[in-house]
Amino acid sequence: MSVPLIEITKEKCTVCYACVRACPVNAIQVKQNQDYPEVNNDWCIGCGGCLNVCSPKAISYRDSKENVKDILKSDSKVAAIVGPSISGEFDDITDYRKFVQMIRHLGFDYVNEVSFGVDIIAKEYNKLFSNYKGKHYITSICPPIVSLIEKFHPDLVDNLAPLTSPMIATAKVVHQIYGDDIKIVFIGPCIAAKSDIKANKSWSEVDEVLTFVELRQLFEEFSIKENNLEFSDFDPPLGYKGSLFPISNGILQAGDIDESLLTGNVTTAEGKSNILAAVNQFANSIDFIKKHFNLFYCEGCLMGPGTSRGGKKFIRRTLVTEYANKRLHDFNLEEWQQSIDMFDSFEHNRGFEANDQRLPEPSDEEIQEVLKVIGKADYDDNVGCEACGYKSCKDFAYSVSKGLAKPDMCITFSLKNKQEYIKALKKSNDDLAKIQNQLKLSEKTARAEQQKALEASETITTMMQKLNAGVLIVNEKLKIVQSNESFINILGDEAREINEIIPGLVGADLKTLLPVQFYKMFSYVLTNNDDVLNRDVHFGEGLLNVSIFTIRKDKIVGAIVRDMFSPEVRSEEVINRVNDVIDENLSLVQQIGFILGEGAAKTEKMLNSIIESYKTKKK
């Protein structure tokens, strides 16, 4: 089983939803009955946007260090092909030649520049863009961009430039020079490349991908420092203007592609917001725009998710250009051209496949229903605090409708239905306690009747608590009259917290405790006086068997709820006796309802007089 590219460690997660806000394709989801976000790796495009926004560092990407160490220990020769973003990342190393020697010291036999592969591919882009035949292209250099289009804009797959990446172009050159048996490790700023080499079998030229952060960790692990080492240059062939590749329009300059606003036919965009807008506008308006799109998900590769946190874009950009100027000052252009000509006959085309991950669109009615539930039905479509991870309340409702989020992610909804609701219940309980004190001071006859009712209530509670199945009694307003411990345990931790304040959940609103389809069955029985028996209902990842029946017509209903995954229910013996157990439980709860009804009848006059007295006192 392959290791996911992105994982969330629940023990570190603070449930702040920053990762949800950062993900451009909703691949980080918070589903119903889940406390923590999780990554849908089928949807993930490997952009790494979630990594930098996670303050507690609960999100990590697949670690390749152990695989690389195994490769280095093998009998094969191993080459490192290094992305040109090194100049922006390793500003703490005084001379790039020391950096090359540090890589060799890890055990690599050869160290080559990917900037030479950039030069090759940039030349191919020049040919493609210059030979316009009515189709406009999106560059396929950035793996997250390719993944975004294959998964969420499959109609644009044919518009991806049919050219391989500089990484693969460089790997082909290295194989040609050193032989097919050589192992190749790409070192760069992109984590999505880790998935690319696994998903594309034709990309077998590269055996593993190591990020700059992982490379730093290996340097530290093996105590490799520049002050202990001599100079060492990259193995040939050396790159030319490909050194500018970390800057988004660097490949255009490497390929001498016209960028002029007046005469050029290519436009460049970088960064999450610009990319999403660019892809949408390419899809809808390319016949008007009439440009090829050069797209990089990050703000240039120099800001890739595999680089160190906290890097400053324009400082790194300056380091890249200064490095390129130093390298090109005494550059042997004639030798470089000979190398380019030597590998000009290589095949650099590649294809793409649509991998449509889009979900069916929810209806407007479904979205409005969610907005009503969270109390935002009257809000403007563009209004939202964004704390849930979505730009507007409507966007949030849209995701809830698609099953990608849950209503509790809305802060106002959560506060209203948890903290404030529990406080309201506590206050209500305090008021009820005061009424009970008034009852104790009432007439002797009333006190005697109350004691009888209390004894009956204790008997009922004891009977209910003895049942393994969950028992629930609800009034016409869907407020809980009584419930047992088994039912509270089925609901989970939140119900147990409320139970500590309000024993038996008395007075709790059923709508706030159970899913929509669950409490709708209670409404049906109350309205139609038609029992619902032996109905299986999914609750989170579990399965409940529910029977709901009338105790007092239009007033009170009872229910038996059984956890079908509990050992008792799953055992064969209990399965064979299901019908008997249901009949006994139904009979018992009906008796409970009868006893409650009897107690209520005897004390009705007394309760009415006390309530009237209480109301008068409040006035």
Domains annotated for the chain, with CATH where assigned, are 1-62 (3.30.70.20), 63-342 (no CATH), 359-409 (no CATH), 429-618 (3.30.450.20)
Q: What confidence tens digit (pLDDT) does each residue in 368-403 have?
A: 777 777 767 666 666 666 666 666 777 777 777 766
Q: What confidence tens digit (pLDDT) does each residue in 433-447 have?
A: 777 777 777 666 656
Res. 32: pLDDT tops 80: no
Contact call for residues 360 and 175 (beta carbons, < 8 A)? no
C-alpha 469: how far from its chain's center?
A: 36
Mean pLDDT for the stretch of residues 179-187: 95
Quote the pLDDT of residue 573: 43
Single-letter amino acid, residue 371:
L
**Which tokens hold the place of 241?**
């203007």
Whole-number average pLDDT of the chain: 83
Res. 7: pLDDT tops 90: yes
The pLDDT confidence band at residue 603, using thresholds 50, 70 and 90, is very low
The pLDDT confidence band at residue 200, using thresholds 50, 70 and 90, is low
Quote the pLDDT of residue 572: 44
Contact call for residues 393 and 374 (beta carbons, < 8 A)? yes
Contact call for residues 174 and 77 (beta carbons, < 8 A)? no
Quote the pLDDT of residue 434: 79
Mean pLDDT for the stretch of residues 572-592: 57
Contact call for residues 79 and 234 (beta carbons, < 8 A)? no
The pLDDT confidence band at residue 617, using thresholds 50, 70 and 90, is very low
The pLDDT confidence band at residue 500, using thresholds 50, 70 and 90, is confident
- For 531, counting Cβ atoms within 10 Å of its Cβ (0-12 exposed, 13-18 middle, 19+ buried), the class is middle
The pLDDT confidence band at residue 610, using thresholds 50, 70 and 90, is very low
Single-letter amino acid, residue 291:
K
Give the position of tokens 């209670």. 522
Q: What is the distance between the alpha carbons of residues 14 and 27, in angstroms, rounded to a whole number?
A: 18
With the C-alpha atoms ordered 372, 374, 379, 384, is the resulting torsion angle positive or negative? negative
CA angle 206, 207, 211 (to 5 degrees): 85
What secondary structure, in 3-state letters, does 573-589 show? HHHHCHHHHHHHHHHHH
| Bond from prior residue into 237 cis (ω within 30 degrees of 0) | yes
Quote the pLDDT of residue 545: 85
Q: What is the distance between the alpha carbons of residues 86 and 80, in angstroms, rounded to a whole number?
A: 13
Phi, psi of 356 (to 5 degrees): -60, 115
Quote the pLDDT of residue 118: 96
Mean pLDDT for the stretch of residues 300-323: 92
Mean pLDDT for the stretch of residues 145-163: 95
**Which tokens hold the place of 299?**
């703000």
Q: What is the distance between the alpha carbons of residues 445 and 134, in angstroms, rounded to a whole number?
A: 96
Q: What confidence tens digit (pLDDT) does each residue in 331-363 have?
A: 999 999 999 999 877 888 988 999 998 877 777
Quote the pLDDT of residue 522: 85
Quote the pLDDT of residue 240: 94
3-state DSSP call for residue 197? helix
Quote the pLDDT of residue 187: 97
Q: What confidence tens digit (pLDDT) does each residue in 461-493 have?
A: 676 676 778 888 888 888 888 888 888 888 888
**Which tokens hold the place of 583?**
């009949």
Distances (CA, A) of 50 to 42, 46, 60, 212, 479: 16, 10, 9, 18, 42
Q: What is the distance between the alpha carbons of residues 384 and 294, in angstroms, rounded to a whole number?
A: 33
With the C-alpha atoms ordered 500, 506, 509, 515, is the resulting torsion angle positive or negative? positive
Contact call for residues 401 and 360 (beta carbons, < 8 A)? no
Contact call for residues 154 and 356 (beta carbons, < 8 A)? yes
Q: What is the distance between the alpha carbons of residues 312 and 190, in angstroms, rounded to a whole number?
A: 17
Mean pLDDT for the stretch of residues 25-37: 83
Helix (H) / strand (E) element for 116: namely helix 114-130
Quote the pLDDT of residue 497: 82
Q: What confidence tens digit (pLDDT) does each residue in 413-440 have?
A: 666 666 666 776 777 777 777 777 777 7
Residue 411 CB partners (closer than 8 Å, separation 6+): 385, 387, 388
Q: What is the distance between the alpha carbons of residues 505 and 503, in angstroms, rounded to a whole number?
A: 5
The residue that leads in pLDDT, 66 or 572, is: 66
- Roughly how many angstroms between the first and final C-alpha of the chain, as a whole number? 70
The runs of H, that is alpha helices, within 55-165 are 65-73, 86-89, 96-105, 114-130, 143-152
Quote the pLDDT of residue 219: 95
Helix, strand, coil distribution of the chain in percent, nearest 5: 50, 15, 35
Res. 614: pLDDT tops 50: no
Work out the number of other CB atoms within 10 angstroms of the CB of residue 21. 17
Look at residues 129, 83, 121 and name the one whose alpha carbon lies nearest to residue 268: 129
Q: What is the distance between the alpha carbons of residues 609 and 602, in angstroms, rounded to a whole number?
A: 13
**Which tokens hold the place of 245?**
């590749």
Distances (CA, A) of 37 to 9, 183, 410: 10, 37, 14
Q: What confidence tens digit (pLDDT) does each residue in 213-240 have?
A: 999 999 999 999 988 888 999 999 999 9
CA angle 323, 48, 220 (to 5 degrees): 60
Quote the pLDDT of residue 512: 80
Q: What is the distance between the alpha carbons of residues 564 and 576, in angstroms, rounded to a whole number?
A: 14
Q: What is the distance between the alpha carbons of residues 301 and 163, in angstroms, rounded to a whole number?
A: 18
The pLDDT confidence band at residue 459, using thresholds 50, 70 and 90, is low
Q: What is the distance between the alpha carbons of residues 218 and 225, in angstroms, rounded to a whole number?
A: 11
Q: What confidence tens digit (pLDDT) does each residue in 512-535 have?
A: 888 777 778 888 888 888 888 888
Look at residues 259, 294, 245, 297 and name the one whose alpha carbon lies nearest to residue 276: 297
The residue that leads in pLDDT, 574 or 328, is: 328
For the chain, give the percent of residues with pLDDT over 70.
80
Beta bridge partners of 113: 82
Quote the pLDDT of residue 140: 94
Contact call for residues 160 and 171 (beta carbons, < 8 A)? no
Quote the pLDDT of residue 607: 47
CA angle 123, 125, 130 (to 5 degrees): 100
Mean pLDDT for the stretch of residues 117-139: 95
3-state DSSP call for residue 79? strand
Distances (CA, A) of 131 to 8, 135, 228, 241: 46, 10, 51, 22
Q: What confidence tens digit (pLDDT) does each residue in 40-53 have?
A: 989 999 999 999 89
Res. 67: pLDDT tops 90: yes
Phi, psi of 566 (to 5 degrees): -70, 150
Res. 167: pLDDT tops 80: yes
Quote the pLDDT of residue 583: 60
Q: What is the distance between the alpha carbons of residues 259 and 393, in angstroms, rounded to a whole number?
A: 40
